[in-house]
Amino acid sequence: MAEEKATAAAEETAKVEQEVKEAAPKQDPQEFLKNFDWNKYEEGIEKVEDSKLEEFEKLVAENFVDTADEEVVEGTVTHLTDREAIIDINAKSEGVISLNEFRYNPDLKVGDKVEVLIDIREDKSGQLVLSHRKARTIMAWDRVNAAHDKEEIVTGFVKCRTKGGMIVDVFGIEAFLPGSQIDVKPIRDYDQYVGKNMEFKVVKINHEFKNVVVSHKALIEADIEEQKKEIIGQLEKGQVLEGVVKNITSYGVFIDLGGVDGLVHITDLSWSRINHPNEVVELDQKLNVVILDFDDNKSRIQLGLKQLEKHPWDALGDEIKIGDKVKGKVVVIADYGAFLEVAEGVEGLIHVSEMSWSTHLRSAQDFVKVGDELEAVVLTLDREDRKMSLGIKQLTPDPWTDITTKYPVGSRHKGIVRNFTNFGVFVELEEGIDGLIYISDLSWTKKIKHPSEFVTVGDTLEVEVLELDVEGRKLSLGHKQTTENPWDKYEKQFALDSIHDASITEIVDKGAIISFNDDITAFVPQRHMEKEDGKKLTRGEEAQFKIIEFNKEFKRVVASHTAIFREEEQRNVRAAKKKAAAAAEEAKPTLGDANEQLQALKDKMEADKKKK
């Protein structure tokens, strides 16, 4: 029964639609619907021809939207309130959308076309509720993929900051904008971009994780590349260009010339010395620079800033000449000297040798420090090479002026040990007056291999002036000369063949060392260490020694133990020989005895002959 009623209703509906179609062309669709008597239609009183009903369906299809779910339709903004946008989608009623969904488009106005999705057909008040955000999301992936494939430029709304970059609303999708892709120059303040619409290029899409990466830098680089080609083609040495400080390093400043970067080295920033480029320029500062040089490909451009100004040496007054006194500030210190800035960009070198009259050179840090205000004397001046040498010791009298009066040969003084070398010791008598004590003039008796065995730096020594060379500014000093030479008395005390008691203190390769006192040591050769019993003396053994050599000039003493008993033996041998000789002399026959013996022998021989 129900099926029959449904079939009948459908047939009646078809008839009505036909009648509407036939009637539609004669009047406006809205007017037709307004005047259509639905009661008569439902009662079946008024009949509608099929042709009219078909025409009506055609008009409805052209003018009204099918409000099915999940379908995106285009609507027109008809009205804007403080919180909502009223959208006409050609439905029974107009829909509303919160303005929060249009945050990416703050310029939304009446008449704009927007994509919407029906969110609620009728709310409690019968209002049609639409969603622009959902509509954008549905269409977003198709648009993003198309923009990526076609390398199209898209507009996005920067929503907020995030770790490493920004979140951008692109077609309703939250895309990631890395910090490195915001601009070609480093970005220090990300917040300045939040809430702004910017153009981007879709550079990466991860379909699996629904991630989109966009870049604003890519668009800038494309523009810059064109500008770069144009600028590079026009570059010439000496050309002056305007640029912006892009980056500051310890060694120089990178300048953006409009897509082409150049470097101003720290030495080309200012004629004056600077410690860091930020003393002269700051980031994002606009300034003019001159092209100094570039490589063949013009990829490395050397720029200059100070070259746009006149060189300070050219402005240096002609009144400054050698011998004049000038004032300035110490700007740089090196071991070999200090640079004094006498005018902005004009410096002179005070060599360490010109800081003090002392010939004992020290480091420049011992005399001055950076920032000191000094007065100096101009020693040399070369305006062509822009060089100047200065001196500060010239402001005080030269201590060598009356050196012969203060330090005559033979005079004795006290000085401070300032330095020593392998061959001697430098002693400072006063500031600017140094003298050398040769190692041989340190002690009368000690054999010194290095001065450090005898003195240390800072010790006070009494010295005697041995030689004075005024022109060469050299003093020869002696320390041992201030005391009596003990070798004068030792020459008598330890005369040749004198015998002394001592013990062996050290055994060496060719003999032994013995000490007679604190000053005198002697060498005992091995063959002179033999004792009377044939054995050798050992370390610590005490014995008598005979001086067999004494050389005062070379401070050489040689002694012998063996010589003591060997000499006694030789004396005994000589005595025995003398006694034996004397005995032999007494036993020698006389001439008379010899004649008697010969006569007896002759008589015997004659007697024997007669017997025969």
Strand partners, 580: none
pLDDT digits (tens, 9 = 90+) for 516-539: 887 788 999 988 888 888 888 888
What's the average model confidence in pLDDT over 395-421?
88
Give me the pLDDT at residue 365, please: 84
Mean pLDDT estimate for the chain: 79
Query: Strand (E) positions, 383-446?
Result: 387-391, 412-420, 424-430, 433-438
Distance from C-alpha of 131 to C-alpha of 219, rounded to nearest angstrom:
32
Mean pLDDT of 2-14: 44
Domain boundaries, the chain: 72-137, 151-222, 235-304, 312-395, 402-478, 484-605
**Top-ranked range on mean pLDDT: pick from 29-38, 43-52, 244-253, 445-454:** 244-253
Is 2.30.30.760 the CATH classification of the domain at 235-304?
no
Determine the pLDDT at residue 10: 44
Average pLDDT over residues 303-324: 82
Q: Which of the 8 DSSP states describes residue 483?
A: S
Which CATH number does 402-478 carry? 2.40.50.140
What per-residue confidence (pLDDT) applies to 14? 47
Between 524 and 309, the higher pLDDT residue: 524
The yes-or-no verdict on residue 83 having pLDDT over 70 is yes
Whole-number Cα distances in Å, 139 to 7, 145, 171, 363:
40, 10, 8, 78
Give the mean model confidence (pLDDT) for residues 257-263: 81
| Rounded average pLDDT over 286-315 | 83
Find the mean pLDDT for residues 586-592: 58
pLDDT recorded at residue 123: 62
Architecture in CATH of 151-222: Beta Barrel (2.40)
Q: Judge whether residue 13 has pLDDT over 70.
A: no
Confidence of residue 424 (pLDDT cuts 50, 70, 90): very high
Tell me which of 237 and 50 has the higher pLDDT.
237
- Residue range 559-588: average pLDDT? 68
* CATH number, domain 72-137, options 3.10.20.30, 3.40.50.150, 2.40.50.140, 2.102.10.10: 2.40.50.140
- Residue of 179, 181, 298, 137 lying closest to 228 (CA atoms): 298
| pLDDT level of residue 249 (50, 70, 90 thresholds) | very high
CA separation for the pair 26, 59 (Å, rounded): 12
What pLDDT score does 232 carry? 74
Q: Using alpha carbons, select from 52, 58, 56, 53 the residue that is nearest to residue 10.
A: 53
- Nearest by Cα to 251 from 233, 237, 269: 269
422 CB-side CA count, 13 A: 0
pLDDT above 90: residue 218 = no
86-95, 399-408, 465-474: which range is least confident on average? 86-95
Residue 175, class by beta-carbon neighbours within 10 Å (0-12 exposed, 13-18 middle, 19+ buried)? buried
pLDDT score recorded for residue 580:
61
pLDDT at 70: 56
Residue 515 and residue 521: Cα distance in Å, rounded?
4
* Percent of all residues in the chain with a pLDDT value above 90, rounded to a whole number: 13
pLDDT at position 607, please? Answer: 66
What CATH number was assigned to the domain covering residues 484-605?
2.40.50.140
Check if CATH label 2.40.50.140 holds for domain 312-395.
yes
Angstrom distance (rounded) from CA 433 to CA 464: 14
Average pLDDT over residues 23-45: 53
* The domains spanning 235-304 and 484-605 adopt the same CATH topology: yes
pLDDT digits 0-9 by tens, 118-167: 776 666 666 777 877 777 777 778 788 888 888 888 888 999 988 888 89
- Mean pLDDT in residue range 334-360: 85
Beta bridge partners of 18: 53
Mean of pLDDT values over 227-250? 82
* 490-524 pLDDT, tens digit each: 888 888 888 888 889 888 888 999 888 877 889 99
Instruction: Pick the more confident residue, 174 or 235.
Output: 174
Q: 24 near 51, Cβ under 8 Å?
A: no
Alpha carbon distances (Å) from 209 to 195, 213, 539? 26, 12, 94
Q: Is a pLDDT exceeding 90 seen at residue 477?
A: yes
Q: Report the percent of the chain where pLDDT is more than 70.
A: 78
What pLDDT band is residue 29 in, cutting at 50, 70 and 90? low
Average pLDDT over residues 52-71: 55
Average pLDDT over residues 338-354: 88
